[in-house]
Amino acid sequence: MLIARTRSELRAALISLGGAPAFVPTMGALHAGHLALVHAARADGPVVASVFVNPTQFAADEDLDRYPRDEAGDLAALGAAGCAVTLLPTVAEIYPPDDATVVTVSGPARGFEGAIRPGHFQGVATVVARLFGLVRPRTAWFGEKDWQQLQVVRRMTADLCLGVEIRALPTVRDADGLALSSRNRYLSASERALAAELPRRVAAAAAAIQAGTAPAAAIAAATADLARAGFAVDYLALVHAETLCPAETLCPAETLCPAATLCPAESGGVARRLLVAARLGPVRLLDNFPV
């Protein structure tokens, strides 16, 4: 596996691949979810992965400084997974001092994480656009765990005509159902044991809605249930899977969704997602289920 730390090293490595690669962007501290993306991406051609803890997607009071970093472990795992090139850039390689451009996405970036973490999706969209520009991939792979991020990246890639096909893989979970996340390691043993209640109860709410329970009732019951169990729920919401507009409201006039977007729920081709974010001790757990 080739390792590129600078733009020129990356250019040389890409030439040696001889064609547009499949790309797996990460922030490192890799787990089985990331490696599943690398394995799946190999079907598209040689795989380039990036390991870059992107400062612009962290707010000042967030965990940028203590975000888990394990360069040696990540490189070993990526090599074993069959990655052809790993990009390990410095902050200055991605954000040179004369830097003057950011990417701001509206639409799916507006609510939920976008409202709770102002600036977060601008940081994500900006770094993903730059990484796409540097790597010039044919396809790029993301996990469904960060469902809103996936929709933001899809929207940005389409709107800026970046010509990258965005592919996604279902969330990879531990045996007890907890979605894998690099931040799970911040949980104490007792918090980790309780954390699996989140996907269990949210999946049950999704199943109840699917079976005909009114969404508002299922969501209120699950929110109260999670609070009793010890979670501080930031949101539990049923949304249109792509636009992230509230699924129970009319589209587009009331939600200000793009008027050209046919509301999937109204058109009968229902694509809805139950999104949750809840705090447990020092960690915000994010998850989502199809309905």
* Residues involved in catalysis: 34
* Under rule CB under 6 A, residue 127 binds ligand PAF: yes
> Does the protein bind ligand PAF through residue 48 (CB under 6 A)?
no
Q: How far is the CB of 64 from ligand PAF (least distance, A)?
A: 12
Residue nearer to ligand PAF on the CB measure, 44 or 113: 113
Q: Which stretch binds ligand PAF (CB under 6 A): 19-27, 201-209, 266-274, 276-284?
A: 19-27
Of 139, 168, 149, 146, nearest in space to 36 by CA: 168
Query: Sign of torsion, CA 234 238 242 243?
Result: negative
Among 128, 202, 275, 277, binds ligand PAF (CB under 6 A): 128
- Closest CB to ligand PAF among 26 and 223? 26
Residue that is written with structure tokens 């969404």 in the block: 215
Question: What SS3 state is found at 215?
Answer: helix
- The minimum distance between CB 14 and ligand PAF, in angstroms, equals 19
Place of tokens 């609070």: 227
**Binding pattern for the stretch 22-41 against ligand PAF, x by CB under 6 A and - elsewhere:** ---xxx--------------
Phi, psi for 249 (deg, rounded to 5): -100, 165
25 vs 108 by CB, closer to ligand PAF: 25
Measured distance CA(86)–CA(24) in Å, rounded: 9
Counting contacts by CB under 6 A, is residue 124 touching ligand PAF? Answer: yes
Helix (H, G, I), strand (E, B) or coil at 232: strand
Q: Residue 8 and residue 28: Cα distance in Å, rounded?
A: 22
The answer to whether 148 and 244 are in contact (CB under 8 A) is: yes
Q: Taking contact as CB under 6 A, which single stretch among the options 124-132, 199-207, 261-269, 274-282 is the one that binds ligand PAF?
A: 124-132
Which residues would be at the binding site for ligand PAF (CB under 6 A)? 25-27, 54, 57, 124, 127-128, 146, 149
